[in-house]
Structure 1
Amino acid sequence: MTTVESQLHAAPRNYRYVLTITVTVLVLFGWSMTTVSLNSVDESGMKVATNIINGLTHPDLNLLFNFSKQSVLYLLVETLAIAFLGTLVGSILAVPLAFLAASNIVPRPVSWLTRLLLIFIRTIPALVYGLMFIRVTGPGPFAGVLTIGLTSIGMLSKLYVDAIEELDVKVLESLTSIGCSTYEKIRFGIVPQLLSIFLSVMIYRFDMNLRDASVLGLVGAGGIGAPLIFAMRGYKWDQVGSILLGLIVLILLIELVSNKLRAKLVRGY
């Protein structure tokens, strides 16, 4: 018998713990199933479900491949632009907030107040921000860019702070000992440590913002969301299928590219 096997056999058997967890999960599952009701599913509902499946599997190719302002390609490019500009705005604004929230850079009261502000920003959903900006700027892509930018600040700042607080201060001490200026310490001591992490976080957030930008169109903040909800309300399931197909392809491509870029950043630095 190997050492691993002997340790495995010698390990205490937590049968009571496993039994308790199993019973709890089964009780919760049974309780959740009581809310499932199939009484409202009738013949008309099954017909609608069949129409949905048929429309999704037979998308409107003309809507998908033409180049008008109502086409899927145009709306996907608009959605991509909203996500990109919003991520860029949020990434830039998050940098000073992240330094103000880092406890190893500023006094603790300043750090605490900035973190409180960032928590407040993260608490409000993107759709609420979208509705507020639409009242200010009117419906359109600009409201979407502002919404994506503001919602990005909360998450990006939090991840930036984690990177800033893990800075190798020995590098800064070495630069100080040889008489480097503040600019030189930032340029050669801080930027090389943070740049790859910041870029990786930005790419990851852009991937998330692309999905958020698709939803923001539902409240009139530009992008492909509005045509999607209109097609669903009009029971035009072939158009819904073409829009969803375009979204799936775009998100898969962005996912592939972003993963490769992030991997290169990790290897490069």
Structure 2
Amino acid sequence: MQLTVNKQLKQEPNLWINKALTVLFIIGIMVWAGHSIDFNGVKENGVEIAKNVVNGIFHPKTSMLFTLQKGGVPALLLETMCIALLGTLIGSIIAVPLSFLASSNIVPKWVSVITSFLIAAIRTFPSFVYGLMFIRVTGPGAFAGVLTLSVTSIGMVSKLFIETIEDLDKKILESLDAAGCNAFQKIRYGILPQLFTNFVSTVIYRFEINIKDASTLGLVGAGGIGAPLIFAMNSLSWDEVGAILCGLVILVLIVEYISTKVRNKLARG
């Protein structure tokens, strides 16, 4: 047995040259990329600002944390969560037909290519660009944030939906077809059970991302908690900054905990 193992080890190809070249290539890319980045050092007041932010987190403005008024942290977080939720739902609903049209195992190849190109084009622009565009159309506010997250969700959700659809087990559909099932029955009993778990898990994951995106979209005036945060930082109100950041951290942790539980439940049945 030992001789067989040793013989097998000797037959293993020696790939050290390929590994060395790969490491050198990665180092070369890092060096090349580093030359294009200008580092001018830390600003004189940079460390002081960082200390003030940390101090504000540990000493937040409690009147903002424990008030239900419009300018309070709970109200701002609720608006942020509503923007993320609506944006996720709208984007996911639009992504469903696009995903089927982009799946090569469902539609003709030319339809799949055109729809895939459209989805890739949607994914090209970051959320900030869409936010600035929609603010020009609808004006600043939460509605611009909802439209922004709806469009940005389409790209990512569609891509993950397509991968799930292309992994469909066609044997189940063939069995239902042989049993005399109509199109509705094949969708109900053959397609939806295979797609439902992955679709819901993808939507929940995108909702987590949109919670964070909705927080930053406020910086460009698209609603959410970002605008009050930047205003507080510009006015050097570090206790308000701390209160907003504390609320944001708590919200993200709660959402991630609940979404992880739901995804695990879906995965395990």
Is residue 148 of structure 2 the alignment partner of residue 161 of structure 1?
no
Q: CA RMSD in A?
A: 2.8
CA distance in 1, matches of 2:2, 2:140: 69
Instruction: Give the match for residue 98 of structure 1.
Output: 99
Is residue 66 of structure 2 the alignment partner of residue 65 of structure 1?
yes
CA distance in 2, matches of 1:70, 1:129: 26
Stretch moving more, 182-191 or 11-20: 11-20
Q: Shift of the alpha carbon at 1:222?
A: 0.8
Q: In structure 2, do the counterparts of structure 1 residues 58 and 120 end up closer, same or farther at CA, with 3 Å as the change threshold?
A: same
CA distance in 2, matches of 1:26, 1:64: 49
Q: Shift of the alpha carbon at 1:21?
A: 2.9
Q: Shift of the alpha carbon at 1:8?
A: 11
CA distance in 2, matches of 1:112, 1:69: 47
Stretch moving more, 13-22 or 133-142: 13-22
Instruction: Give the match for residue 56 of structure 2.
Output: 55
Q: 1:159-204: per-residue Cα shift (whole Å, max 9, x none)?
A: 1111111111111111111211111111111111111110010001
Q: Shift of the alpha carbon at 1:35?
A: 4.4
Is residue 138 of structure 2 the alignment partner of residue 137 of structure 1?
yes
Is residue 228 of structure 2 the alignment partner of residue 227 of structure 1?
yes
Q: In structure 2, do the counterparts of structure 1 residues 46 and 82 end up closer, same or farther at CA, with 3 Å as the change threshold?
A: closer
CA distance in 1, matches of 2:57, 2:160: 38
Which structure 2 segments of 5+ residues have no match?
none
CA distance in 2, matches of 1:37, 1:267: 51
CA distance in 2, matches of 1:224, 1:4: 65
Q: 1:198-219: per-residue Cα shift (whole Å, max 9, x none)?
A: 0010001111111111111111
Instruction: Give the match for residue 252 of structure 1.
Output: 253
Q: In structure 2, do the counterparts of structure 1 residues 48 and 201 end up closer, same or farther at CA, with 3 Å as the change threshold?
A: closer
Instruction: Give the match for residue 23 of structure 2.
Output: 21
Question: How many aligned residue pairs are there?
Answer: 266
Q: Shift of the alpha carbon at 1:36?
A: 3.9
Instruction: Give the match for residue 78 of structure 1.
Output: 79
CA distance in 2, matches of 1:225, 1:205: 19
Instruction: Give the match for residue 124 of structure 2.
Output: 123
Report the residue type matching 1:151 in the other structure: T
Report the residue type matching 2:265 in the other structure: K
Name the % identity. Answer: 52
CA distance in 1, matches of 2:232, 2:189: 54
Q: In structure 2, do the counterparts of structure 1 residues 5 and 262 end up closer, same or farther at CA, with 3 Å as the change threshold?
A: same
Report the residue type matching 2:148 in the other structure: T
Stretch moving more, 182-191 or 7-16: 7-16
For normalisation by structure 2, the TM-score amounts to: 0.88
Stretch moving more, 164-173 or 29-38: 29-38
CA distance in 2, matches of 1:14, 1:3: 24
SS at match of 1:146: helix
Q: In 1, are the aligned partners of 2:76 and 2:224 still within 8 Å (CA)?
A: yes
Is residue 156 of structure 2 the alignment partner of residue 152 of structure 1?
no
Q: Shift of the alpha carbon at 1:237?
A: 1.4
